[in-house]
Amino acid sequence: MADATRDLFVKKSFVVITGASRGLGKCIASKLVANLPRSSFFLFLSRNNAAQEIVASELSTSYPGAQIGSCKFDQGHLDQNIFDTLFTDVIKKHDLNVGDFEQAVIVHNCATVGDVSKYAWEMMEVASLQKFFDVNVTGMILLNSAFFKTFSGTKSRLIVNMTSDNSKIPYPTMSTYCASKSARDMYFRVLALEDPSIRVLSYSPGPCDTDMLANVRDKSSNKEFADDIKKFYSEGKVLTCDTSADKLVAVLRKNTFKNAEHVEYDDPL
């Protein structure tokens, strides 16, 4: 690692969290605000700006002095101008100085699960399929590049890639989701190979109680798979977002994870 300071949580950070308006993203946002220095700045990005502003407001109350900005952002809306100006505009708006931050952190949490009512060979709708990969892969890469262009000179740089065991294990009716998560993992493995001074954690949060998991449970065309998820719920095996986000913080705090390698929620610390 280029940065001699191993403790990621002592650094004044500029932190971006996508999909911070609800579910796991909201929980991760909360944990990072709680654990990073109060001098840090947090930027929440999601399509639902009203919801994430409520999250920001709640966190500002719980953690007085926390500096949180939010910006309406649709990762699948691939407009060059948005990616070119997003971070510089936020920095200007909040009167920040890029050079003041010891650490740049981006949490790529935003993703869509796709249409789980369809099997792989039923993926025929051009617009929805293109949008799916725009959100889960292309838009994420573009946002990542825009971020690292802005913070290219920052000493400590950290990416949290929210992944899934779906990136490694095929599940029925999850063909495009599995494909997109595999693509993301591999993209970051290359990035980490190219610049090992950037820390990359590909964290698989386990089966969390999110709208996404409920959607798969309720809408998957594969009854056996849907029943497996129902069983997970009924047997209490579905994790709270809070529990999984705590583990993420613990993994980051320990900071011994192998760069860009897949870390599962239940892997030993």
Query: Which residues bind to a copy of itself, rule: CB under 8 A?
Result: 78-80, 83-84, 119-127, 129-130, 133-134, 137-138, 141-142, 144-146, 148-149, 167, 170-176, 178-195, 198, 222, 260
How far apart are CB 2 and a copy of itself at their closest, in Å? 15
CB atoms within 10 A of CB 250: 11
Report the relative pairing of strands 13-18 and 156-162 from DSSP bridges: unpaired
Q: How far is the CB of 267 from a copy of itself (least distance, A)?
A: 21
Tell me the one-letter amino acid at 143. Answer: L
In the three-class reduction of DSSP (H, G, I as helix; E, B as strand; rest coil), residue 111 is classed as coil
> Which is nearer to a copy of itself, 120 or 250 (by Cβ)?
120
* Strands in the chain per DSSP E: 13-18, 41-46, 67-72, 103-108, 156-162, 198-204, 262-264
- Say how far apart CA 152 and CA 138 lie, in whole Å: 20
Closest approach of Cβ 57 to a copy of itself, in Å?
A: 32
| Residue nearer to a copy of itself on the CB measure, 4 or 127 | 127
- Min dist CB 131 to a copy of itself, Å, is 10
Q: Which is nearer to a copy of itself, 40 or 167 (CB)?
A: 167
Q: Are 181 and 122 in contact (CB under 8 A)?
A: no
Nearer to a copy of itself among residue 40 and residue 150 (C-beta)? 150
Which DSSP letter does residue 197 get?
T
**Minimum gap (Å) between residue 186 Cβ and a copy of itself:** 4
**3-class secondary structure, 263:** strand
Q: How far separated are the first and last CA of the chain, in Å rounded?
A: 20
Q: Closest distance between a copy of itself and the C-beta of residue 205, in Å? A: 19
Nearest approach in angstroms of CB 62 to a copy of itself is 34
Backbone angles phi, psi at 53, to 5 degrees: -70, -30
CB closer to a copy of itself out of 197 and 240: 197
Place of tokens 């993992």: 185
| 72 versus 168: smaller Cβ distance to a copy of itself | 168
Closest to a copy of itself by CB, 134 vs 209, is: 134
| DSSP structural state of residue 137 | I
Q: Supply φ then ψ for residue 160, to 5 degrees.
A: -110, 110
Of the candidates 80, 168, 83, 176, the one whose C-alpha atom is nearest the C-alpha of residue 123 is 176
